[in-house]
Amino acid sequence: MAQEEKKLHKIERLISNQKNIRNIATSAHIHHGKTAFTDNLLAAAGMMAAKNAGDLEEGMATWQHSDEQERLMTVDAANVSMVHDFQGEEYLINLIDTPGHVDFSGNVTRAMRAIDGTIVLVCASEGIMPQTETVLKQALRERVRPLLFINKVDRLIKELKCTPEQMQERFIKIYKDFNKLIERIAEPEYKEKWQVDINDGGVAFGSARDNWALSLPFMKKKGVSFKDIFKLYEMNEQERKDWTWKNAALYEVVLDMVVKHLPSPVEAQKYRIPKIWDGDLESDFGKQLLNCDPNGETAFVITRIVIDPRSGKEISAGRLFSGNLVPGMEVYLNNEKKTQRVQQVLVYNGIKPEQVETVTAGNVLAIAGIVGEVGETVTIKPQTPFSEIKHIFEPVITKAIEPKKIADLPKLVEVLRKVGKEDPSVRIEINEETGENLISGMGELHLEIIENRIVTEKGMEIKTSSPIVVYRETVIKKSEASEGRSPNKHNSFFITVEPLEDNVYEAIKRGELAERRYKKRDDNMFKKLSELGVSNDEIRNYRDIYKGNVFLDDTRGEVHMIEVIELILDAFEQVIDAGPLAREPCMKMKLRLADIKLHEDAIHRGPAQVYPAVRDSISDSMKQVGIVLFEPLQTHLIESPSDYMGAVTRLVSSKRGQLIDVSQDESGVQIKAKIPVSEMLGWASDLRSATEGRGVSSLIDQQFEKMPFELQNEIVRKIRSRKGLSENQ
Ligand SMILES: Nc1nc2c(ncn2[C@@H]2O[C@H](COP(=O)(O)OP(=O)(O)OP(=O)(O)O)[C@@H](O)[C@H]2O)c(=O)[nH]1
Ligand SMILES: [Mg+2]
């Protein structure tokens, strides 16, 4: 107990010593060893029993849900903190262990906002995998600096029987491939600067499970050779532990590397803030953020929410970019537009959140008492919020969900709201009109985990449908303006629709253009759209960016516009949420209000008049040029022994899939294929049977594309019948 208090005390002392803080995460392809690695770091810091560290059967310390233990995989990101001594100074390491399965990779995107550096683990035997590339993209998008850890080196010795020379060759290959990826993905300024250097200790290798690590400089310092690593596996367990602890302790090598090669929050915020915050960098608040100013205004971004199942209390974890946080403080939530009071401020002592009196800028921490959403910017006064945290993939697998007992419906709505809050990668759609509640996730496993948690953790019996695919409605031609008249015939709206430019659509998807209504000139939006080649005249007319669609007001001199514009935008958003063809969401459209006629008297142009008229105008314009259905597709990289190449290509074409690339080397065949999501249900088991369990496939990209025309009518009919829509609805 006394020792526990001492550790918390140490952490409390260090949280204000900004230059000695490192905020980091593990990231990797699935099962490359992140959690074993995290467990061993915690154990070495005395934060958990060493004997269990990294032992799957005993359960990882960071696994907080029973489903993680059952499936032996990480689902949620876990925050931990520890203290490390380096060259006579103490450092506070705030670390987030992230999941590797692509269904949970939204947790990786969100963790990246909170941290400044990441250790990317790569299995020495498997090498760089598709998800390695994805996590690098996620890191670099947030200007998080990557370092490389080559893990599972024991497999090279025990399974692949490599010689010391072959082992070095493999390291060099992985390290070169890793740098090539950085070169390819990073922004121009970081392509060179963030290359990892094996000679300088920016790369380490070892075995997270066996608790050892080395880097070239460390080997030099300790006089260890590659041959010694092989001897390690001839020793008995106790000898190996003793040798390892003395010559190649994982925590020492890795955390020294972190302290030396990753930035403190003060250094990192100088270049991260311009990337993740859209406000004026010359303003006082902007300077405070850039400087990670402990005396500045509080600026905290929520990156993860956990709801206590018993008390219902919300704990919001995230990153404090400026100022401090103390219990009792009044704060402002910029997205929610509400003032709330912080009740508790918590830091992680190992895996355990514990209350403290105050925390200063530059830390990863949690607060209780406030009720917001992930991505919220918490300040003192209203400020420009941080840019939205956008995940690279959208949830495309959907199920209808209902309570087993109909009387539980209100409770289900409440439970779903909580589920969506704790996991923002889940999309919840509650339709009170039709009673159809939809839950969308990243994949079948994601939905399975969520459904199971609703039953076991939220105590609610539910029924779900088989998976449904949600399509998108759009146009591929420009329309003339159709007139939409209000029921009282006193108001008319003339709106055109056309496809939105590809580059504008992509920028919205990447989160570079904030999806919201624009009431006044917004410098960032102006600058971004003009870089994309949109004319100033057009940018001036942008009024709303909503779910990948935009609305422009091209009218001039209508005096009552200010009174009706919000109503027009409401109706625009209603159509986007449920399009005219099959009530599926719309995407990638540009709408322009070309002309408007309004009644003089405000009483004759309320919502009951404006909504239907605007909706009619938009629907008619879409129908005029033909509404097209887009379907979600996934690009997968399928790897298998060459013998199964024929079986895999046949499987892909049986699923309406397209082969994009096929390559072959000594390790087997790699097939890149694009397959409609509607054909992917049961994919994992189909692939297993086609390849006798030898094939693996990883999601590498996702997009919406036009459906084959001959299938569209049939799909529309099915969707409409599922939704119970009549002819003219
Ligand atoms: N041989 C060997 N196996 C390892 C090593 N590190 C981890 N493993 C094993 O690899 C498997 C996955 O380990 P985890 O630590 O759960 O990997 P992870 O990256 O956290 O997995 P996810 O979070 O589910 O992506 C387990 O069976 C570990 O025992 C290692 O250094 N050598
Ligand atoms: Mg894990």
Q: How far is the CA of 26 from the centre of ligand 1 (A)?
A: 12
Among residues 370, 285, 290, which one has the least CA distance to residue 325? 370
In a domain, 725, yes or no: no
pLDDT band at residue 264 using 50, 70 and 90 as cut-offs: very high
Question: Do 462 and 480 belong together in one domain?
Answer: no
Q: In the structure encoding, which two tokens stand for residue 411, read together?
A: 């409770």
Q: Is 692 left (phi over 0), alpha (psi -120 to 50) or beta?
A: left
Mean pLDDT for the stretch of residues 43-50: 65
Question: Do 372 and 346 belong together in one domain?
Answer: yes
Residue 155 CA: which ligand is closest? 1
Residue 151 CA: which ligand is closest? 1
CATH number at 203 reads 3.40.50.300
Q: What percent of the chain has pLDDT over 70?
A: 96
């070239």: which residue's tokens? 216
Q: Distance (Å, rounded) from C-alpha 610 to C-alpha 618?
A: 12
Question: Which among 583, 600, 626 is the end of a domain?
Answer: 626
> Element (H or E) spanning 542, and its range?
strand 542-546
| Res 54: pLDDT | 53
Q: Distance (Å, rounded) from C-alpha 290 to C-alpha 273?
A: 6
pLDDT value at 45 more than 80: no
Closest ligand 1 atom, residue 39 Cα: 15
Tell me the residues surrounding ligand 2 (ion) with CB < 5 Å: 34-35, 74
pLDDT value at 65 more than 80: no
Q: Is 1 exposed, middle or buried (0-12, 13-18, 19+ CB in 10 A)?
A: exposed
Closest ligand 1 atom, residue 210 Cα: 31
pLDDT band at residue 74 using 50, 70 and 90 as cut-offs: confident
Residue 101 CA: which ligand is closest? 1
CATH number at 452 reads 3.30.70.870
Question: Do 337 and 408 belong together in one domain?
Answer: no
Q: Quick one: the chain helix, strand, coil %, rounded to 5?
A: 40, 25, 35
Mean pLDDT for the stretch of residues 706-724: 92
Check if the beta carbon of residue 51 is closer than 8 Å to that of residue 62.
no
Find out whether the beta carbon of 157 lies less than 6 Å from any atom of ligand 1: no
In a domain, 82, yes or no: yes
Amino acid at 123: C
Mean pLDDT for the stretch of residues 158-177: 93
Which stretches of 189-337 are assigned E, i.e. beta strand?
Answer: 203-207, 212-214, 299-307, 314-322, 324-325, 330-333
Q: Which structural domain, as residue segments, surrounds residue 430? A: 399-469
Tell me the best of 27, 29, 35 to mutate to test the pocket of ligand 1, counting ligand atoms within 8 Å of each CB and taking the most: 35
Check if the beta carbon of residue 82 is closer than 8 Å to that of residue 47.
yes
């390819």: which residue's tokens? 184
Each residue's pLDDT tens digit, 378-410: 999 999 999 989 888 889 899 999 999 988 888
Among residues 356, 374, 461, which one has the least CA distance to residue 412? 461
């938009």: which residue's tokens? 618
Question: Do 271 and 152 belong together in one domain?
Answer: no
Tell me the best of 26, 27, 29, 34 to mutate to test the pocket of ligand 1, counting ligand atoms within 8 Å of each CB and taking the most: 34
pLDDT band at residue 288 using 50, 70 and 90 as cut-offs: very high
Find out whether the beta carbon of 209 lies less than 6 Å from any atom of ligand 1: yes
Question: Do 238 and 135 belong together in one domain?
Answer: yes
Find out whether the beta carbon of 56 lies less than 6 Å from any atom of ligand 1: yes
Tell me the best of 32, 57, 108, 250 to mutate to test the pocket of ligand 1, counting ligand atoms within 8 Å of each CB and taking the most: 32
Closest ligand 1 atom, residue 73 Cα: 24
Find out whether the beta carbon of 81 lies less than 6 Å from any atom of ligand 1: no
Q: Distance (Å, rounded) from C-alpha 457 to C-alpha 252?
A: 38
Check if the beta carbon of residue 585 is closer than 8 Å to that of residue 625.
no
Check if the beta carbon of residue 396 is closer than 8 Å to that of residue 348.
no
């955390």: which residue's tokens? 255
Q: If you compute the radius of gyration of the chain from its CA atoms, what whole number of angstroms results?
A: 27
End-to-end distance of the chain based on CA atoms, in angstroms? 66
Find out whether the beta carbon of 29 lies less than 6 Å from any atom of ligand 1: no
In a domain, 391, yes or no: no
- Number of domains the chain contains: 5
Among residues 112, 131, 117, which one has the least CA distance to residue 31? 131
Find out whether the beta carbon of 33 lies less than 6 Å from any atom of ligand 1: yes
Closest ligand 1 atom, residue 32 Cα: 19
Q: Distance (Å, rounded) from C-alpha 556 to C-alpha 596?
A: 10
Sign of CA dihedral 501, 133, 366, 319: negative
The least confident of 489-503, 542-556, 669-683 is: 669-683
Check if the beta carbon of residue 532 is closer than 8 Å to that of residue 504.
yes
CATH number at 283 reads 2.40.30.10
Beta bridge partners of 266: none
Question: Which among 626, 643, 668 is the end of a domain?
Answer: 626
Question: Do 555 and 680 belong together in one domain?
Answer: no
pLDDT value at 141 more than 80: yes
pLDDT value at 53 more than 70: no
Find out whether the beta carbon of 151 lies less than 6 Å from any atom of ligand 1: yes
Find out whether the beta carbon of 716 lies less than 6 Å from any atom of ligand 1: no
Mean pLDDT for the stretch of residues 427-438: 79
At residue 501, the 3 state secondary structure works out as coil
CA dihedral in degrees (552, 557, 562, 563; nearest 10)? -110
Tell me the best of 26, 29, 31, 120 to mutate to test the pocket of ligand 1, counting ligand atoms within 8 Å of each CB and taking the most: 31
Mean pLDDT for the stretch of residues 459-466: 92
Mean pLDDT for the stretch of residues 189-199: 95
| Res 55: pLDDT | 55
In a domain, 2, yes or no: no
Mean pLDDT for the stretch of residues 603-609: 95
CA dihedral in degrees (352, 353, 359, 362; nearest 10)? 70
pLDDT band at residue 726 using 50, 70 and 90 as cut-offs: confident
Check if the beta carbon of residue 200 is closer than 8 Å to that of residue 176.
no
Among residues 623, 627, 628, which one has the least CA distance to residue 707? 628
Q: Distance (Å, rounded) from C-alpha 146 to C-alpha 178?
A: 10
Check if the beta carbon of residue 64 is closer than 8 Å to that of residue 87.
no
The least confident of 39-48, 49-58, 317-326, 327-336 is: 49-58
Question: Do 614 and 590 belong together in one domain?
Answer: yes
pLDDT value at 51 more than 70: no
């602890």: which residue's tokens? 245
| Res 433: pLDDT | 66
In a domain, 120, yes or no: yes
- Residue 152 CA: distances (Å) to CA of 50, 208, 498: 19, 7, 53
At residue 625, the 3 state secondary structure works out as helix
In a domain, 411, yes or no: yes
pTM of the model: 0.89
At residue 666, the 3 state secondary structure works out as coil
- Contacts of residue 564, Cβ cutoff 8 Å, sequence gap at least 6: 596, 598, 605, 610
Question: Do 187 and 58 belong together in one domain?
Answer: yes
Find out whether the beta carbon of 179 lies less than 6 Å from any atom of ligand 1: no
Find out whether the beta carbon of 99 lies less than 6 Å from any atom of ligand 1: yes
In a domain, 389, yes or no: no
User: Mean pLDDT of all residues in the chain?
Assistant: 92
Among residues 159, 174, 166, 154, which one has the least CA distance to residue 229? 154
Mean pLDDT for the stretch of residues 233-252: 90
Find out whether the beta carbon of 675 lies less than 6 Å from any atom of ligand 1: no
In a domain, 722, yes or no: no
> Element (H or E) spanning 276, and its range?
helix 265-276
pLDDT value at 114 more than 90: yes
Find out whether the beta carbon of 30 lies less than 6 Å from any atom of ligand 1: yes
Question: Do 530 and 430 belong together in one domain?
Answer: no
Question: Do 195 and 253 belong together in one domain?
Answer: yes
Q: How far is the CA of 100 from the centre of ligand 2 (A)?
A: 6
Question: Do 431 and 481 belong together in one domain?
Answer: no
Q: Distance (Å, rounded) from C-alpha 158 to C-alpha 145?
A: 32
Q: How far is the CA of 672 from the centre of ligand 2 (A)?
A: 26
Q: In the structure encoding, which two tokens stand for residue 613, read together?
A: 């008229």
| Res 1: pLDDT | 45
pLDDT value at 434 more than 70: no
At residue 534, the 3 state secondary structure works out as coil
At residue 102, the 3 state secondary structure works out as helix
Residue of 58 and 228 predicted with greater confidence: 228
Length of the chain: 729
b/e map 431-466, b = 16+ CB within 10 Å: eeeeebbbbbbbbbbbbbbbbebbeebbebebebee
- Looking from the CA of 173 toward its CB, the CA atoms found within 13 Å total 12
Q: How far is the CA of 31 from the centre of ligand 2 (A)?
A: 7
Q: How far is the CA of 581 from the centre of ligand 2 (A)?
A: 43
Question: Do 283 and 238 belong together in one domain?
Answer: no
Q: How far is the CA of 198 from the centre of ligand 1 (A)?
A: 23
Sign of CA dihedral 697, 703, 709, 713: positive
- Looking from the CA of 294 toward its CB, the CA atoms found within 13 Å total 12
At residue 636, the 3 state secondary structure works out as strand
Question: Which among 573, 605, 626 is the end of a domain?
Answer: 626
Check if the beta carbon of residue 47 is closer than 8 Å to that of residue 351.
yes
Closest ligand 1 atom, residue 99 Cα: 23
pLDDT value at 477 more than 80: yes
Check if the beta carbon of residue 683 is closer than 8 Å to that of residue 627.
no
User: Which residue's alpha carbon is at the smallest distance from atom 30 of ligand 1?
Assistant: 152
